[in-house]
Structure 1
Amino acid sequence: MIRDRGLKKWKGFFMPEHISMLNKCYVDGKKLKKPVIDEQEFEEIGVIVMESLNYLVQIKLTVWQEGYFKYHSGVVSKVDQLMKYILLEIEGRNERIMIGNITGAERI
């Protein structure tokens, strides 16, 4: 009876470049496209952000970054319409969020 190495001999055919390419394809497959925000949703987001700025209401922002959605909760401390960013105060520190990446906002 012939006894060989079985599957062990087939595992050596993956080169490091192939493994890194397969891992990159796996990560890229999980990324999501940026949703298109219509004018009405954009206005609602603006109203919620301005309420947080004027009345110190805590809000939760949904932000699209590099294919993934991230959630930030805090109070808006500054809106810069010229540079198109929002400063969101989160636990004593300010975080800059680009207005074009915001996909949703809700009051907490």
Structure 2
Amino acid sequence: MIKDRGTIKWTAMMLPEHVQKIKQWKREAYAENPRNLSEWELEDLQQTINQAFKQHKTVTISTWQEAKYAQWTGTITALDESQQLVLETLTAVKRVPFHSIHAAHLEDGSYD
């Protein structure tokens, strides 16, 4: 049986510039487009964030960063006037701009 390694076998013969261009092309080809939120989705998002902040609940926030969605889980410790919220995760404190937030879900704390 022939084992074909795909593009891996060709990278040894390519110049570093070619490898860089191929990686850039793959990032662009598989990049997602951010979806626009409707007015009622934005209101629901705002209510969820306010509830998580006031009740000190754990929240999972989905953000749009570098052509893909990223998720952060933690507690919201502050809502800045600079249009950012401060999210405290297990390992770090992260500042998340409001315009990059696409979803927020409260963790209920009950595990089955």
| TM-score normalized with structure 1 length | 0.79
Partner of 2:55: 55
- Structure 1 stretches of 5 or more lacking a match? 1-9
Q: CA deviation at 1:68?
A: 1.0
Alignment of 1:46-85 (within 5 A): 46-80=46-80, 82-85=81-84
Partner of 1:93: 92
Task: Report SS of the residue matched to 2:95.
Answer: strand
- Structure 2 stretches of 5 or more lacking a match? 1-9, 108-112
Q: CA deviation at 1:102?
A: 0.5
After TM superposition, the structure 1 stretch with the greater mean CA deviation from structure 2, 40-49 or 21-30, is: 21-30
Alpha-carbon spacing, 1:15–1:89, altered in 2? closer, same or farther (3 Å): closer
Structure 1 stretches of 4+ moved >3 Å: 10-16
Q: Distance in 1 between matches of 2:55 and 2:48?
A: 10
Alpha-carbon spacing, 1:85–1:18, altered in 2? closer, same or farther (3 Å): same
| TM-score normalized with structure 2 length | 0.77
Task: Report SS of the residue matched to 2:104.
Answer: strand
Q: Distance in 2 between matches of 1:12 and 1:74?
A: 43
Q: CA deviation at 1:13?
A: 7.5
Q: Distance in 1 between matches of 2:12 and 2:64?
A: 39
User: Kindly, what percent of the aligned residue pairs are identical?
Assistant: 17
RMSD over aligned Cα atoms: 2.2
User: Could you give the per-residue CA deviations for residues 54-102 of structure 1, whole angstroms, max 9, x where no partner exists?
Assistant: 111111111110111111111111112x311110111263210011000
**Quick check: which has more Rg, 1 or 2?**
1
Q: Which amino acid aligns with 1:93?
A: A
The 8 Å contact of residues 11 and 19 in structure 2, kept in 1 or not, is answered as no
Q: Which amino acid aligns with 2:69?
A: F
Partner of 1:28: 28
Partner of 1:44: 44
Q: How many residues align?
A: 98
Alpha-carbon spacing, 1:56–1:18, altered in 2? closer, same or farther (3 Å): same
